[in-house]
């Protein structure tokens, strides 16, 4: 089976979208697809997506004929790719003066707040759009000489307008590791004070310059909990455009068990057996991140390996 088409793959992963990167260089082809009434456009305002809430929450897509003409200038439109014969574009309408025009079609919402209502493929395209628009917003000026940049390659490159500099800038993604640490039938979970009450998650942190992924796993777990890990194995990854991360999931085995919170990011950390999880979920004293997150997936995969009831079923039956 092609893993990239696996419907159980992590949320926000754009499995069926063909990015057609070579077409980004063909301005005539891009213009023709923009003007094609079968193409679909995603609009974002302040990085929020447009949805309709009734009868059920669903994303709003536009065709060229539904958009104000001044928004469809090629330099303003970003090409995302093609899926099932449909070409997808996105554009930022934050500064568009007549925002009420779009409010006639729906309401702007944060993607994380509605993602679990959306089809997985739709959620993936919206996440892609959010990530690349956020990159454009933050790269209006050249980081080398400070001059304005302009859009190239259908929104997938910005170039410094200073001909003596002409530095090319490309969309960036920040790598972060996230890991399920286990030992003797227990997993290590932690929480930050700002999270909802009783919510625990896996350990996570950004990869630093000159550091391998495995080193980042060891460092983050040790810094945050005082636990040393080894036997680090890759699990899966997830795009996380809040604002621009790629979450790299791992499983790791702890060598030590004593917990000592060390970097002030965490309010608490503890070891949980599967029985602990069952009892606390049933009592309502333990919550997990939303199922769209790779953190939930890591916990779920570990829990389900040796439990007569799956984690999702346990959570549903305890509500």
- CB atoms < 10 A from the CB of 47, how many? 19
Mean pLDDT of all residues in 163-184 = 97
Looking at the predicted structure, is the pLDDT value of residue 191 above 70? yes
Place of tokens 């696996």: 6
Phi, then psi, of 65 in degrees rounded to 5? -75, -15
Could you tell me if residue 238 is left (phi over 0), alpha (psi between -120 and 50 degrees) or otherwise beta?
Answer: beta
Q: What percentage of the chain reaches a pLDDT higher than 90?
A: 89
Q: How confident is the model at residue 6 (pLDDT cuts 50, 70, 90)?
A: very low
Distance in angstroms (rounded) separating the CA atoms of residues 168 and 200? 41
The H-or-E segment that residue 82 falls in is strand 78-83
Give the global pTM. 0.91
Mean pLDDT of all residues in 246-259 = 97
Looking at the predicted structure, is the pLDDT value of residue 132 above 90? yes
Task: Specify which residues 50 forms β-bridges with.
Answer: 108
Task: Specify which residues 45 forms β-bridges with.
Answer: 48
Looking at the predicted structure, is the pLDDT value of residue 4 above 60? no
Q: Among the residues of the chain, which ranges form H helices?
A: 27-35, 99-103, 111-114, 120-137, 213-225, 274-283, 294-304, 311-317
Instruction: Tell me the CATH class for 174-317.
Output: alpha beta
Q: Which of 39-48, 70-79, 155-164, 204-213 has the weakest average pLDDT?
A: 70-79
The mean pLDDT of the chain is 94
Domain boundaries, the chain: 3-138, 174-317
**What would the DSSP string read from start to end of 124-138?**
HHHHHHHHHHHHHHT
Looking at the predicted structure, is the pLDDT value of residue 7 above 90? no
């Amino acid at each position: 089976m092609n893993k990239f088409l696996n419907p159980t793959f992590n949320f926000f992963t754009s499995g069926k979208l063909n990015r057609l990167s070579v077409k980004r260089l063909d301005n005539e082809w891009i213009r023709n697809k923009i003007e094609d009434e079968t193409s679909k456009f995603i609009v974002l305002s302040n990085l929020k997506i447009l949805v309709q809430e009734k009868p059920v929450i669903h994303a709003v897509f536009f065709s060229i004929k539904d958009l104000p003409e001044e928004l469809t200038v090629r330099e303003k439109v970003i090409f995302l790719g093609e899926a099932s014969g449909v070409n997808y574009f996105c554009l930022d309408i934050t500064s568009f003066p007549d925002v009420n025009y779009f409010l006639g079609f729906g309401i702007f919402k944060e993607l994380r707040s509605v993602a679990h209502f959306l089809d997985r493929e739709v959620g993936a395209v919206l996440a892609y759009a959010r990530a690349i628009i956020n990159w454009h917003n933050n790269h209006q000026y050249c980081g080398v000489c400070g001059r304005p940049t302009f859009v190239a390659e259908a929104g997938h490159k910005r170039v410094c307008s200073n001909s003596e500099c002409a530095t090319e800038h490309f969309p960036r993604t920040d790598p972060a590791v996230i890991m399920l640490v286990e030992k003797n039938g227990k997993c290590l979970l932690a929480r930050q004070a700002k999270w909802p009450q009783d919510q625990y998650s896996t350990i996570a942190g950004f990869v630093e310059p000159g550091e391998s992924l495995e080193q980042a796993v060891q460092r983050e777990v040790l810094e945050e909990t005082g636990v040393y890990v080894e036997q680090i194995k890759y699990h899966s990854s997830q795009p996380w455009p809040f604002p621009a991360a790629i979450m790299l999931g791992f499983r790791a085995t702890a060598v030590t068990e004593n917990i000592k919170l060390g970097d002030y990011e965490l309010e608490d950390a503890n070891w949980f057996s599967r029985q602990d999880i069952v009892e606390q979920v049933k009592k309502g004293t333990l919550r997990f991140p939303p199922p769209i997150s790779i953190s939930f997936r890591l916990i779920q995969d570990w829990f389900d390996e040796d439990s007569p009831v799956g984690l999702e079923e346990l959570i549903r039956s305890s509500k």
